[in-house]
Every structure is written in structure tokens, then in C-alpha cells.
Structure 1
């Protein structure tokens, strides 16, 4: 078992993690017609919006209750009420995703009581679903906020109904990109199953031009689909962090679930497809049999460059788990692992020690590595250590195409193998010269 360490520093130097409200906003953006609303100061919302815009290079709908010093002391109920009414009038959202921030969590606003009072004063709001997620940014990380938003969504919106034998729920953690979710939806649909994906970033942040401008998200999981989740026959939880949301659906509607910690790597994808065979009763489509043979050939072609290589990673726990075990299956050694927040997965990683820390810790631990894997903030570290660098996670602001990037399934795993293998190949050539 890996040892989990927490550096006893008084301050984070070169932070790795992103905040919980940012993670919750990202999850809400996977719903159609949604407007994420931060209950906090304008700066909290502006910072999150900049991060999302730089990563996806898309217009991001995001709003704020614009708390000031006075309203923070006296209470933010008036600010929330005014923000909701203004958004109703101007943006006309189908769903409102309300997130707290460190400012309002520290003050201790009674959010459920405030929302109840606002609805009593404004009966016209009864038809507007308001999903509230408690996301203090003084603890946890992006993955925690993302999971908290999904758990709130499945508690608030699904309704009971007659079971549909071909319909399944897919709860996806923050480890999956819009491109990943598009591939997952195609695989599931190929088995004759109808997936309801929460959140479906592949329909909102995949990088496409809409026919007309909208102040809210133009794609994603619809409210009607969210209501129908209680009629699904099974739930696939993709990532350990969304296990609680799957358990919530099971408790409310009796829907069984299974957690898949990774969908990258030959064995992981085999397990996922076997689960779909069991659910649908259908055999694997020939398309994926061929992609599997392509992946096998790619593993043969690239394993010369992966064997005994030392790789250091700085990622959110779910993504760290997936990539670490994938690399381990290719014969690499995990030289160092740094993550952002606690997770039951950390002790089971294929490494002696895992550090819940920052990029300063990562730089110290990664000395002697053959490859670094982290978000774009680690670029300067890779330059100082003179080590090849592969960008993964959030944010990636110095590369294009983040909305369509795919590293899951047989096809995505093959592409990831070639991308990493080419980095190792270039490093070997440079060393020879």
C-alpha cells in the first residue's frame, strides 16, 4: 500500500489544485440551459471564468451574487434573491446551479432556508429547478466540487417512473474530457443502450459553433433526461469520486450501480465492455474488436520505449489513479505522485508514497524522471528539470483542442500510447545526439 503524506508547510507554493466552486461550475456546464451562479464576491467568479475560458476557448456562462463587505456582514439573502430574479428576466435558464464560495461558507449562510424564503416570496420560481451545491474553496479541490454538484443534481432532479430496460445512467467524474464522454456515449449506444450522461460535457464544451447565441449552455443533459434518471435500469459510475452520487440513486430509486475507476488501458476497457455485454445481452460490435487489435499492435510497437521509464505525475485523484495504472501496465515506474485532495484510491496506487501537495513538492520529487505529466502550470518545472512534459488535467491553456481530446476506450488509449511513446522516442534521439 502507498503511504499518503501531507507536507506541513504554512503556505502552498505554486498551487496545483483548483477550487471546489470551479469544479461544481464545470459539472453544471454539462447540463442544457444551465446558468451556474456563484454565491460570493465578483472576484471568485471572474477567476473561475478566466480559467474555464482559457482551457476550453469557449464562451462560458457564469454569474455571481456579487457580495460586498456590507452584505457579507449583514447576510447575503438579498443578493441571492436579486441575482436569481435578474437571471430569470435576462438569461431565462432552464436550470440554476448555485454554488457557495469560501466567503459565504465561512459566514455560514443557511442556503436551504434562504432558497425556501425566496420561493415563498416569488411563486413564479417554483418552476425553476435550483440545484444547490455546498463548495467551500478553503478545502477540497476541483474533483470534490465536481462530485458535490453531481450528487446534488441526482438528489434534486430525477423522478420515479416505470423502469426502461434499455436506459442506463452514466455518472462521469472530473477525470473525463468532453472528447472522452463522446467516445463513451458512442460505445454504450453501440450495444443498443440509451445512456443518460451526467454531466454531458460532450454536448456543451466539445468546441462547436451554435446556430444562435445563448446566454446559457446550448447543449448538455436536458432537464427532461434528468427527470427520467429514476427510470433507468442501471447506473455506471465512472470514477471513485462519483460513487456517493450512484449510491444516492440506489437509495432513492433502487437502481443498482457499478464503479469503473478507469477506462484507459486494454484490461480496463475490456472490463467496461464486458459490463455492457452483461447489461445489454449483445455481443461486442466488430468495430471495437478491430480497435482492440489496433491497440494490441500499438502496445507491441511502443513497449520498447515505455519499459523501466520513470514517470512523475501531478493530477486529481481519479485521473491519477487511471493514468498511473495504465502506465504501470506498460512497464513504467511511477517515480513520484502528487495530488490535490484526499481519496480512498490513494493508498492503492502503484507507488511507494503519494503526496497531497503543490507543484513545489512535485518539482522536488520529480528530479530524475524521464517524463512529467501534469497541467500547464508544470511547464516551467519541466523546463528547469530538462524533462519531457505531457499536459493532462485542468487547466491546459497552451494547447488547442482540449474539448475534443480523448484518452479512453481502445481508440483513446491507442492515441495516448502514441503521444507518450513519441515523447520518449524524441528524448532518446536527443540523448544520442
Structure 2
């Protein structure tokens, strides 16, 4: 169990964490025909919008109630009413999702009361669902906002229904990409099960060219699918952040649940396939047995470059556990772990300590490490330290293809192992071979592989590393 320590610095330098309203907006972007709205100033929304656009390289629908100095003091009812009416008139969404910000939370706006009043005064909004979630940005982080948004969606829209035996609800964490969700959907469907993914960013943020432009999200979980979640026979959550939403579903419809702390790694995916086999009554398909064998081979090939490596990693709790857990299984040492918010996931991390801090803390802790892992804002620290740098999480704005990156399941785990191993091979070939943590014999063999086009002598390398 990792000990959690909070930074006591007077200020944050090069922030690691993103805000709760941004995390909630990200969750709402996974709902079809939805318009996310930040109840706050225009600047709050603009900053989040820039991060989302740069990460996904897509047009992002995100609106604001545009609070100013006067309305921040007197209250934001008029701004919410105007925003709801304008959005309905211009974009005609099926769902408007509102999340608060630090500005309106400090004022103490009663948004639930505002929405009830608007519905009485403006019957033209009767055909539009409205979801509200409280997400003050002065506490918590991106993952917390995502978590609370899922819970708000469930509590507002899901009602109990007769159980459909082959239907399950899949709650993905905010650390999963559209490609990850597609991979998990394919795995679930291979067992003859019908998954309802909530929220489903693989339908709205997967980088497709839409046939039309509606001004709202173009794909994702539909309102009908959200309501159908009340009939699911089981709920699968990926990441501790999904537990609150899964328990809300259980309270509404009695749906049994299981939360997988991560789905990057060998044992956790074994457990997932066993659970799906139990739910469906079907054996594990042959292709996943083959993929498991391929992952084992990838772990054997990759451990020569990860064994003994000292890693500094900064990420949201569930992503930190997913990547850090895999690296630990591959023989790496989690020397420096920095995260953003408190979470039960930290108790499962195979490290001595987790610091709730910033990228300055990561840079200081990574000085004697071999590999830095965090989002794109850590690239300057990696350059200053002259360390290999793996970009994960949100935002990654200096690379393309983030929507299609897969790091879950047997195949996704294998992809991540290769990505890390190739980074370390490049380090061996072009930088300081002498400070590598392997034995001299293994180092010579690894250097030969990195610099030669000949087929490697894996027997020599294996015996040298033993």
C-alpha cells in the first residue's frame, strides 16, 4: 500500500492536475446529441475547450453561462435561463448537461432550484433533458469531476426496468481512450453480450468525419441507452472512479457490480474474461487465448528493457495505477509517483509513496530515474533532465492519434509494453549505455540488439539477464 502525502508548497508550479468541471464536461461529451455547459465565466470554459481541442484535434461542443461581475454577486438564474433557451433554439440538443465552477460554487448558486424554476416558466424546454452536477474546481481534480458526472447522469435519467439477461452496463474511467472503449466493447460482444457504455466517447471523440453538423456531440451513449441501463443484468466498472456510478445504478435497479481497478496487465484481463464467461455462460473465445499467449511473449521480450528501470510517473489515480502496476509487473521500480487527488486506487499501487503534487515535484523526484511518464506538460522537465519521456493521460497535444491509442486488454497491454521497451532501446542506442541498470552481460546483449540488424541471440540475452 502506497503512503499518500500532500504537497505543502505555497503554490503549484507547472500543474499536473486538471479541474473537476473539465472532467465532468469530458464525461458529458460521451453522450449523444448533448451540449455540455459550464456555469461560470467565459474564461473557465475557454481554457477547458482549448485543452480538449488540442488533445483530440476535433471540434468540441462546449457552452458557458458567461457569468460576469454583476451576475456573480446577484446570482446566475438569468444566465442559466438564457443559456438553456439559446442552446435549445440554436442546437436543439436532446440533453443539456450543466456543471458548476468555482465561481458559482463560491457564490452558492442553487442550480437545482434554478432548473426547476426554468422548467415551470419555459414549457418549451419540456422536450430537453437537463442534468446538473456540482463540480467546484477548487477541490478535487479531473477524475473526480468525471466520477460525479457519471453519478449525476445515472441518478437523473436511469429508472428500474425488467432485467435483460444478456445486457450489461460498462462504465469506463476517464483514463480510457475511444480506442480503449472500442476494444472493451469488442471483448464484451465476443461473449454474446450487449454492452451499454456510459459514457461512450468512442462514438463522439473517435476522430471520424460526421455526415452532418448539429452543433452538439455527434455520437455517444443515446438517451434511450442511458434509460435502458436500468435493465442491465450486470455492471462492469473500469477504475475506482466508476464505483460511485455503479453503486448508484445498484441502488436504483439492484444491478450487481464489479469494479476492475485496471485493465492494463495480464492478471486483471484474465479476471475480466473469466467474469464475462460466467455472466454469458460461454467459454473464452479462442482469439483471446491467442492474444494472451502473445502478451506473455511480449512481456518476455520487453522485460529485458524494463527490468530494474527506475520510473517517475505523474497521472490521475486510476491511470497511475494502470501504468504503474504494469511497469511493476515488468520489473520496473516506481521511484517517484505524483498524482492529483485522493483515491482508493492509491492503496493498490506497488510503490512506497504517492505525492499529491505538481510537475515540479515530478521533475525533482525524477532526477535519478531512467524514465519519465506524464502528459504533454511534462515534456520540458524530461528535456531538462535528458530522460526518455512517455506521454500518457490528458492532455497530449504534441502528438496525433490519441483517440485511437489502445492500452487495455491483452492487445493494448502488449502495445504499451512495446512502446516503453522501444523508448528504452532508443536510450541504449543513442545515449548513456553505461548507466543502464542491467548486468554487464545483459547490457552488451541489449546494446547489440539495439544497434544491429541481425536476428538477436535470445538465448544469450536471457542467460545474461538471469
For the superposition of Structure 1 and Structure 2, which TM-score range results when normalised by the shorter chain?
A: over 0.9
Partner of 1:297: 297
Partner of 1:20: 20
Equivalent residue runs for 1:130-169 within 5 Å: 130-169=130-169
Partner of 1:354: 354
CA distance in 2, matches of 1:276, 1:432: 45
CA offsets 1:221-258 (integer angstroms, 9 cap, x no match): 00000011100001001110110111111111111100
CA distance in 2, matches of 1:8, 1:414: 38
CA distance in 2, matches of 1:235, 1:2: 28
CA distance in 2, matches of 1:244, 1:145: 12
How far apart are 1:432 and its partner, in Å? 3.8
Equivalent residue runs for 1:25-424 within 5 Å: 25-424=25-424
3-state SS of 1:229 partner = helix
Q: How many residues align?
A: 433
3-state SS of 1:160 partner = coil
**Is contact 2:33–2:93 with CA below 8 Å preserved after alignment?**
yes
**Is contact 2:261–2:345 with CA below 8 Å preserved after alignment?**
no
- Larger gyration radius, structure 1 or structure 2: 2
How far apart are 1:68 and its partner, in Å? 0.8
Give the structure-1-normalised TM-score.
0.99
How far apart are 1:429 and its partner, in Å? 1.6
How far apart are 1:4 and its partner, in Å? 1.0
CA distance in 2, matches of 1:310, 1:259: 29
CA distance in 2, matches of 1:361, 1:301: 32
3-state SS of 1:355 partner = strand
CA distance in 2, matches of 1:217, 1:2: 39
Where does structure 2 lack aligned partners over 5 or more consecutive residues?
Answer: 435-466
Give the structure-2-normalised TM-score.
0.92
3-state SS of 2:255 partner = coil
CA distance in 2, matches of 1:138, 1:332: 35
CA offsets 1:106-135 (integer angstroms, 9 cap, x no match): 000011111111111012222311110101
**Which consecutive aligned stretches of 4+ in structure 1 deviate over 4 angstroms post-superposition?**
none
CA offsets 1:189-226 (integer angstroms, 9 cap, x no match): 01000000011011110111011112001100000000
How far apart are 1:11 and its partner, in Å? 1.0
CA distance in 2, matches of 1:370, 1:277: 40
**Is contact 2:56–2:207 with CA below 8 Å preserved after alignment?**
yes
3-state SS of 1:161 partner = coil
How far apart are 1:291 and its partner, in Å? 1.1
How far apart are 1:145 and its partner, in Å? 0.4
**Is contact 2:161–2:253 with CA below 8 Å preserved after alignment?**
no
CA distance in 2, matches of 1:277, 1:348: 26
CA offsets 1:342-365 (integer angstroms, 9 cap, x no match): 112213321111100001111111
3-state SS of 1:346 partner = helix
Where does structure 1 lack aligned partners over 5 or more consecutive residues?
Answer: none
CA distance in 2, matches of 1:232, 1:88: 31
Partner of 2:429: 429
3-state SS of 1:265 partner = coil
Larger displacement relative to structure 2 (3-12 or 21-30) = 3-12
CA distance in 1, matches of 2:190, 2:334: 35
3-state SS of 1:202 partner = coil
CA distance in 1, matches of 2:348, 2:193: 32
How far apart are 1:288 and its partner, in Å? 1.1
3-state SS of 2:234 partner = strand
3-state SS of 1:394 partner = coil
How far apart are 1:324 and its partner, in Å? 1.1
CA distance in 2, matches of 1:7, 1:303: 33
CA distance in 2, matches of 1:235, 1:291: 25
CA offsets 1:246-305 (integer angstroms, 9 cap, x no match): 111111111110000110111111111111011101111111111111111111111111
3-state SS of 1:403 partner = helix
CA distance in 2, matches of 1:218, 1:297: 40
3-state SS of 1:99 partner = strand
